[in-house]
Structure 1
Amino acid sequence: MSGPLEGVRVIDLTTVGMGPYATQTLGDMGADIIKVEALDGDPFRDVAPSRHPKMGAAFLNLNRNKRSIALNLKLPEDKRAFLDLLDDADVFVTNTRPQALRKLGLDFETMSTSRPRLIYCSLNGFSERGPYAGKPAFDDIIQAMSGLAWLQGRNQGEPAYVNTILADKVAGLAAAGAIGMALFERERSGLGQSVEVPMFELMVSFTLIEHMAGATFIPPTQAAGYDRVLSPHRKPYRTSDGFVSLLPYTSAHWQRFFEAAGRPELASDPELIDPAARSRTIDRWYQHLAQTVALRTTAEWLQLASSIDVPIAPVLSPDDLLADPHLAAVGLFKRDDHPSEGSVVTTGIPITFSRTPGDIRRLAPCLNEHREEILEEPRGRVVPALSGRR
């Protein structure tokens, strides 16, 4: 086997970040991903930088291990071709808005009638069960609505986005996991089902794990918000010549650090030693860290904190990561020759399986690259049971 999902076929009607990340994750684990695109392609194809039109860097990093076919689902012949693909599929993944799918007759209720084993995964901005159903949503919108932008900008005086498409990627990973669970359940029941992954609800749940804080209790003991991560002094600390990330976490960490740093009066403070008291006044302790760390060089702090087993790390840029010795040792970055884009560097597959590892079998496709191959494949594919149960 080339991966734990070898033999699973996925029809991928997704665009931009969330859906393509989910399906690429499945493809990395051996699934056969057929990416169905509009005639002008996934909009992420056009995101700069790129060497050639429709082959932007972000698209390349979200669409490996996929084959591409372009179809106009409003045309009867293209829709028929699409339905033929679904007849042989295990999973259908889409982030097309549900109302548009219903107009095309591609909703779960319609499609599952003749495909009872199909797992139908909808990646929506908002759950179909609530009043926001069908509203458009992208990563920025969900970061704003989920409380994430408010929390991120609290110490800056105005809301701020996290500088990555976090909501898209979290939802994509959640969808990949949910699809794997649905495939496992199908081995027991023999039946597919509808799986909804709504970005808004998912990111609210994700964000409020720690930030429910005092609002967890009835009545609330304090306002929502996790004090430790909201401290204005929780940040990479300026050294005398740069920055470090330093995180004494346990009482032992804090005491060892301040003793080694020449601040015994802080190391012996009862408020520091008591975890509950320290948690209530964490901003004060982070301020002490900032003042102390400013007195020595980055190299000195890295050596000292490492010697007493207190978590510390340098602050790395994306360019630094490309030369990181640990990432080089584990082979995270792959250099390949893309058929149209030439030499490229991509991230490898970080998750490993001892018996059935994933692999990168093909790089991101050109638009409609595999049309003839896909349409000419014989239908009636038989997929062996994973467990022998049906």
Structure 2
Amino acid sequence: MKQALEGIKVLDLTRVLAGPYATMVMADMGADVIKIEAPGVGDDSRAFGPYIANESAYFMSLNRNKRSITLNLKKPKAKELFLEMVKKADVVVENYRPGTMEKLGLGYEELKKINPGIIYAASSGFGHSGPYSKRAAYDAVVQAMGGIMSITGPKGGKPTRVGPSVGDITAGLFTAIGILAALNHRNNTGQGQKVDVAMLDCQVAILENAIARYVVTGEVPKPAGNRHTSITPFEPFETSDGEIMIAAGNDALFIKLCELFGTEEWVQDERFKSNPQRTKHVEELTPLITAITKTKTTKEWQELLDKAGVPNGPINTIDKVLEDPQVLAREMVVEVDHPVAGHLKMAGVPIKMSETQGSVRKPAPVLGQHTEEILQDLLGLNKEEIEELKKAEIF
């Protein structure tokens, strides 16, 4: 099956998570992603555990479907080779601190001189403008600064970091979206452009109702535990053997929930008859629901709630997620065969497309695995020329 980004060539200078996540999304959809790494060291995340046969599972999960070439970009000849690659590329992606590429003489203003159609995407902590631009950042830093920690955690508790690295991952997703938008513009006009994505900006962009609540009420949002602050009931409830998440997201669903519970009188109760009233009186409603949910197991409630048409779900641990029949049916757990690490399971491709389905076609590369192949096929170098580059420690 032909893939949506087949024919798009991406030069990937990124490392760790935000940038590699963006290029992984593109590689999964068929782009030829060439990962350019420092000789002998490579992407920082190659040193992140856990390991299988000295290969990082962290790195392998983010860099599938890519090819790896090593280049020492501090050497003039390596820069020359990179610039030749730019002439043949559609996209360059980097997540260095702003100014780093310019110091190397490889910033957007230089690259567009040799390829006016190039899409140059930069994903950094604070972006390429503003007073914080030159500061370094990691996921935890932007989670802290971007407000998401201040609204996460148990009610009355301390601000809490979100488990997955959403500071990096959202930046990766927005970077991929920006690249695709820029490619569409180029298809229409022939004009390339720079895509500048800041991790902090992305955290602000996903605050959604926290911003709305503050600007409307003037009250600073605080951690509210596992319940939704604007919709009720919308939280986990205790069962006889665990917990179940119940999300009655509108009045019609609340009526169905009451019918299931045999508490139809709640529908006419002034405290509970509308969502604003239920949210106002959540401290009264929650224990009433809990008294009912504690009478059956989580599985029993799942079956009853599903039959009633009320959204619900168990709180799965990771092992349960990887065994979930819906997750497996959607091919969201895939297995690749790595040349060193062997078999490795990882998350699949979440975007399902009827005509151009993406896929995990090959494992992450070992460091420099495709260097000679790329120098030959992309730049047309012969074996003697490649051997001279190797002696000069260009790669």
Q: TM-score, normalised by structure 2?
A: 0.89
Q: Distance in 2 between matches of 1:262 and 1:165?
A: 42
CA distance in 2, matches of 1:252, 1:352: 31
CA separation of 1:30 and 1:154: change in aligned 2, threshold 3 A: same
Tell me the alpha carbon deviations over residues 34-81 of structure 1, each in whole angstroms, 9 at most, x when there is no partner. Answer: 00112201111111111133x211111100110001121111122222
Mark the CA change 1:160 to 1:102 in structure 2 (over 3 Å): closer, same or farther: same
Alignment partner, residue 242 of structure 2: 242
Q: 1-side partners of 2:36 and 2:378: how far apart?
A: 18
2: CA distance, partners of 1:284 / 1:48? 46
Residue 37 (1) aligns with residue 37 (2): yes
Structure 2: which amino acid aligns with 1:275? N
Q: Which runs of 5+ in 2 are unaligned?
A: 381-395
Residues 5 and 348 of structure 1, relative CA distance in 2, 3 Å threshold: same
Letter matched to residue 155 of structure 1: K
Match runs of 1:86-97 below 5 Å: 86-97=86-97
SS at match of 2:92: strand
Aligned to 2:316: 316
Paired AA for residue 357 in structure 1? Q
Contact 2:10–2:91 at 8 Å: present in 1 too? yes
Q: AA paired with 2:323? A: A
Measure, in 2, the Cα distance between the counterparts of 1:268 and 1:303. 26
Displacement after TM superposition at 1:235 (Å): 4.1
Q: Supply the distance in 2 between the matched residues of 1:289 and 1:80 (Cα, whole angstroms).
A: 68
**CA offset digits 1:86-114 (Å, max 9, x no partner):** 11110000001122111111111122122
- Aligned-partner SS, 2:316: coil
- Give the secondary structure class of the aligned counterpart of 1:323: coil
* Structure 1 unaligned regions, length at least 5: 381-390
- Cα separation, 2, equivalents of 1:283 and 1:45: 48
- The number of residue pairs the alignment matches comes to 376
2:166 corresponding residue in structure 1: 166
Residue-by-residue CA offset, 1:219-246 (whole Å, 9 max, x unaligned): x554446976249996422211111111
State the shift of 1:317 in Å.
1.2
Could you list the per-position Cα deviations for residues 328-385 of structure 1 after superposition, in whole angstroms to 9, with x for gaps in the alignment?
22322222321111111122212122122222232100011111011112449xxxxx
CA distance in 2, matches of 1:87, 1:115: 5
CA change 1:284–1:193 in 2 (3 A) is: farther
Query: Could you tell me how far apart the structure 2 residues matched to 1:149 and 1:222 are?
Result: 17
Q: 1:277 to 1:349 in 2, by over 3 A?
A: same
Structure 2 distance, partners of 1:17, 1:284, is: 43
Task: Specify the alignment match of 2:389 in structure 1.
Answer: none
Tell me how far apart the structure 2 counterparts of residues 12 and 62 of structure 1 sit (CA, whole Å).
Answer: 13
Over aligned residue pairs, what C-alpha RMSD do you find?
Answer: 2.2
Residue matched to 2:129: 129
> What amino acid does structure 2 have at the position aligned with 1:50?
Y
- 2:117 is the counterpart of 1:117: yes
Question: Is the Cα contact below 8 Å between 1:233 and 1:287 reproduced in 2?
Answer: no
Looking at structure 2, the residues matched to 287 and 86 of structure 1 have their Cα atoms a distance apart, in angstroms, of 62
Tell me the equivalent position of 1:49: 50
What pairs with 1:1-390 in structure 2 (closer than 5 Å)?
Answer: 2-39=2-39, 40-53=41-54, 55-153=55-153, 155=155, 157-207=157-207, 209-217=208-216, 220=217, 222-224=219-221, 229-230=228-229, 235-379=235-379
Quick check: 2:85–2:378 contact (8 Å CA) kept in 1? no
Distance 2:135 2:27 in 1: 29
Q: Which residue identity does 1:289 align to in structure 2?
A: I
Cα 1:128/1:281, change in 2 over 3 Å:
farther
| Compared CA separation, residues 68 and 283, structure 1 to 2 (3 A) | farther
Counterparts of 2:363 and 2:234 in 1: how far apart (Å)? Answer: 40
TM-score (norm 1): 0.90
Question: Structure 1's 74 and 354: CA in aligned 2 closer, same or farther, altered over 3 A?
Answer: same
Cα displacement (A) at 1:302? 1.5
Q: Residue 286 and residue 318 in structure 1: after superposition, are their counterparts in 2 closer, same or farther (change >3 A)?
A: same
Identical amino acids, percent of aligned pairs? 37
